[in-house]
Amino acid sequence: KQEVTQIPAALSVPEGENLVLNCSFTDSAIYNLQWFRQDPGKGLTSLLLIQSSQREQTSGRLNASLDKSSGRSTLYIAASQPGDSATYLCAVKGSSGAGSYQLTFGKGTKLSVIP
């Protein structure tokens, strides 16, 4: 059974710092990996999607990398802003069987960017 772990559970940084959020998964047979942002009391907003054949994806100040063989992904946020404060969730979709349509989520990293 796929398990996804996100470290750290919470992170507080001053505005302007670059930061890295970590995600690890136990089964490397994945179809893709998706990073989401969740604001308090809100749904999930998709940030970046990395297919299993890709190494990284970039969108603005965000860069996500994927090392499938080692079961790891990182989300890099450059020049953090108070508006980046949210919970960031990592999710993987399996490549076969039941996991081929289920997303397995980590518990998230709660980010606070201090002005």
Partner 1 sequence: GAGVSQTPSNKVTEKGKYVELRCDPISGHTALYWYRQSLGQGPEFLIYFQGTGAADDSGLPNDRFFAVRPEGSVSTLKIQRTERGDSAVYLCASSPLGSRATGELFFGEGSRLTVL
Residues of this chain that interact with partner 1 (CB under 8 A) are: 4, 31-32, 34, 36, 41-46, 49, 51, 89, 91, 93, 98, 101-108
Closest CA to 73 of 83, 84, 88, 61: 88
For residue 24, count CB atoms less than 10 angstroms from its CB and return exposed for 0-12, middle for 13-18, buried for 19 or more: middle
Least separation in angstroms between residue 21's CB and partner 1 is 14
Looking at the Cβ atoms of 18 and 102, the one nearer to partner 1 is 102
The nearer residue to partner 1, 71 or 106, going by C-beta atoms, is 106
